[in-house]
Structure 1
Amino acid sequence: MDTLLIQEFRAGLLECVHRGHISIVNEEGRVVKYAGDPHYVAFTRSSAKPIQAIPGIRAGIVESFGLTTAEVAVMAASHRAEEEHVATLNSLISKIGVEEEELVCAPSLPLDRNSREKLLRNGGGRRRLYHNCAGKHLGVLAYCKMMGYPLDGYDDPTHPVQQEIVNTLAELSELQVENIGRGVDGCGFPVFALPLSALATAYMKLACPDKIADPATAKAVRTITATMNQYPHLVAGRGKVDSIILEDPNIIAKGGFKGVYAFALRKERLGITFKVSDGSEEEWGMIVLEILQQLGYENQETIQKLREVFSTPITNDAGREVGHATASFSLEEWA
């Protein structure tokens, strides 16, 4: 059963609840704290992006194409098509030498409202590079070009790169490949379903690559996660929880669509995942903040940043306070 995570009140009346599951594992991949079902099976959605970038980085696309650390960071991003995002993507696609039409993700408008309004005022339209998964796709296309793999069908689960991605996920999550569920993500890529505890184990290894047996994989993980911390704004965007907590060098984090979120703490050697059952993302910041507070997280600067952006008052369109939200879960110890 899921459990109550967030309650929202308006005029003193309970208006909305968000339920879900939380799983926290230690450096051995063992559940140590939880709420709801720590082994709940969820689709990873974009939380898998840092893992999907590993095969190409491990094989040497950085050296082959002369990629910058910013261009690596955007491969793990769910970008908002803000100016910095688009500039980095344009540089990346130019270096790789592919055409924008070769990306299978759909032409999109920027997710960032200011960027979208500016684009439309200037007569612009949809582009595949504006899709929030474009960086992930370009990373895979770069790997295909370097290896001589076909670009057509690079999104197919049977493609060599996609096979390598799922094998890498299995290695990090300590699952057998056949026990990882498959579907199709919004961008056209394969998407994976696995227990939250397994995804938390994979994220623990992203934060603690010394727990990864294969040296080449561990080196690739260090490269990818270092760029995410170096360029947190590229990973998500203005006011997004990923970008806020990635400013903390102790944290590696990435959210996914439909309410799934994953992050890990380097010093504490913990992997943490949660799923909001109704698929909402608005509550991520409050949930992350509450988890860190219940864990006794020491970095008060990060705690304060989360409090400032993800405050509990609910305001109307004019900014008037009309209600409040509250975190309503207590992490339990796993026996």
Structure 2
Amino acid sequence: MPSSCVSELLIEVTRGKLTECVHRGHIAVVDIQGRLLGSAGNPEFYTFARSTAKLVQAIPLLEAGGAERFTLTPEETALCCASHNGEPEHADTALAILHKLGLDESALHCGCHEPFYKPAADALKRSGQPLTQLHNNCSGKHAGMLALCACMEASIQEYTSPAHPVQQKMLHTVAEMCGVSPDSIQLGTDGCGVPVFAVPLSALALAYARLGCPDQLPERRAEACRAIVQAIRKAPYYVAGTERFDTRLVEVTQGRIIGKMGAEGVYALTVPERGIGLALKIEDGAERALYPTAVEALLQMELLSVEEAAQLAGFHQPIVPNRRDEAVGVIRPAFRLKRAE
């Protein structure tokens, strides 16, 4: 289901007085009714949600009573939604979830990679401790999937398969939250081996609007959405980590805005008190364009205060450094959202 609408220039990367590089993409801002409030490029652009889907994928676990059954803490619930840094607290929390299930790291099928946070990766090497799947940024999501297996009395074998009951449950939950049919969602395989879902940006934005303001959803689902939002508000470090935008956005806004990045230039966020969801896609997948676009879109939608924007300035217009750490350019937004009448 290719998208044909031309993308819009979102970000300019300067060096000296010259614009050296540009990044194009798409933005959709909607309310809980799905009404388009703001856009750039094609708000119906069809793309993989990647890790922005994690907050929605956590819903079935809480709907099934997993938080009560396994006495999940806010930190553990947030980690189920995370693309975490692989810092010690993240790995330890993933292991704590597994222990509550009577499992260990060997039950995970997410694979290994070094911690995203370089000091954590360096410390791990110096200590001589082995790199394990617990350090994978998706270990919390996979631990949550294993917990859902227990709640559904489903086998933990092949839990990453698209045909597994847990993955089917997540597919239908994503479809329902996005307001689309399951058949319209094209599946791929994410970096951690589980299915990943392709939806229009406006549908992803709708899922986030509903996540943050779930009053019109069935009560059990609404409770699950509120629990996810509250867990991330209480434990933002566990959804990302040190020096990460997702964590800082929650901290700076005191939980008023909650967002989640995804690989290949996808971002989604919710503003619960306003019933607003926003989703964006950087067409070339460049992460360096992701956060400047998100902050600028929030500013243009008047969803960030001047003080909050100042605290996020390093994400809004980050410098381009040289090898001596001197500023030689800037990554800056270059778009104006089309606002609804």
Q: Which residue of 1 aligns with 2:191?
A: 186
CA RMSD of aligned residues (A): 1.4
TM-score w.r.t. structure 1 length? 0.96
State the shift of 1:48 in Å. 0.4
Q: CA deviation at 1:35?
A: 0.4
8 Å contact from structure 1 (residues 206, 252) kept in 2:
no
Per-residue Cα deviation, 1:261-290 (whole angstroms, up to 9, x for no partner): 000112222110000011111222211221
Measure, in 2, the Cα distance between the counterparts of 1:325 and 1:50.
28
| Consecutive unaligned residues in structure 1, runs of 5 or more | none
Do structure 1's residue 157 and structure 2's residue 156 form an aligned pair? no
Q: Secondary structure at the residue paired with 2:68?
A: helix
**Aligned pairs (5 A) from 1:259-298:** 259-298=265-304
Q: Which of 85, 88, 100 pairs up with 2:90?
A: 85
Q: Is the 8 A contact 1:239 1:309 kept in 2?
A: no
1:219 corresponds in structure 2 to 223
Identity %: 38
Q: CA deviation at 1:331?
A: 0.2
Larger mean Cα displacement after TM superposition, 19-28 or 89-98: 89-98
Instruction: Pick one of 52, 60, 63 that aligns with 2:65.
Output: 60
Once the two structures are superposed, residues 111-145 of structure 1 have per-residue CA deviations (whole angstroms, 9 ceiling, x without a partner) of 11000001111112321111100100000101212
Q: CA offsets per residue over residues 30-56 of structure 1, 9 Å max, x none?
A: 212100000000101100001111111
What 5-or-longer segments of structure 2 have no aligned partner? 1-5
TM superposition outliers: structure 1 runs of 4+ over 4 Å = none
Aligned mates of 1:90, 1:150 — CA distance in 2:
20
* In structure 2, C-alpha distance between the alignment counterparts of 1:255 and 1:238, rounded to whole Å: 15
CA drift of 1:310 comes to: 4.0
> Are residues 179 and 309 of structure 1, via their aligned partners in 2, closer, same or farther at CA, if it must alter by over 3 Å?
closer
The Cα offsets for residues 70-117 of structure 1, whole Å up to 9 and x where unpaired, read as 111100000011122122122212112113122111122211100000
Which residue of structure 2 aligns with residue 325 of structure 1?
A: 331
Give the letter aligned to residue 235 of structure 2.
Answer: Y
For the pair 1:202 / 2:207, whether they are aligned, the reply is yes
Alignment-derived partner of residue 250 in structure 2: 246
Write out per-residue CA displacement over residues 181-214 of structure 1, whole angstroms, 9 at most, x where no aligned residue: 11111101100000000000000001101132x1
Q: Does 1:111 align with 2:129?
A: no
Matches of 1:205 and 1:256 in 2, distance apart? 19
Question: How many residues are paired up?
Answer: 334
Partner of 1:246, secondary structure, is helix
In the aligned structure 2, how far is the partner of 1:174 from the partner of 1:7?
Answer: 34
CA shift at 1:245, angstroms?
A: 1.0
| Equivalent position amino acid for 2:278 in 1 | I
SS at 2:228's partner residue?
helix
Deviation at 1:309, TM superposition (A): 4.4
8 Å contact 2:289–2:331 — kept in the other structure? no
Q: Which amino acid aligns with 1:106?
A: G
Give the aligned partner of residue 232 of structure 1.
236
User: 3-state DSSP class of the match of 2:317?
Assistant: coil
C-alpha spacing 1:216/1:126, structure 2 compared with 1 (3 Å): same
1:241/1:284 contact within 8 Å kept: no
Residue number in structure 2 paired with 1:256? 262
- Aligned counterparts of 2:205 and 2:240: Cα–Cα separation in 1: 20
Q: Which residue of 2 aligns with 1:15?
A: 20
| CA distance in 2: counterparts of 1:313 and 1:184, whole angstroms | 34
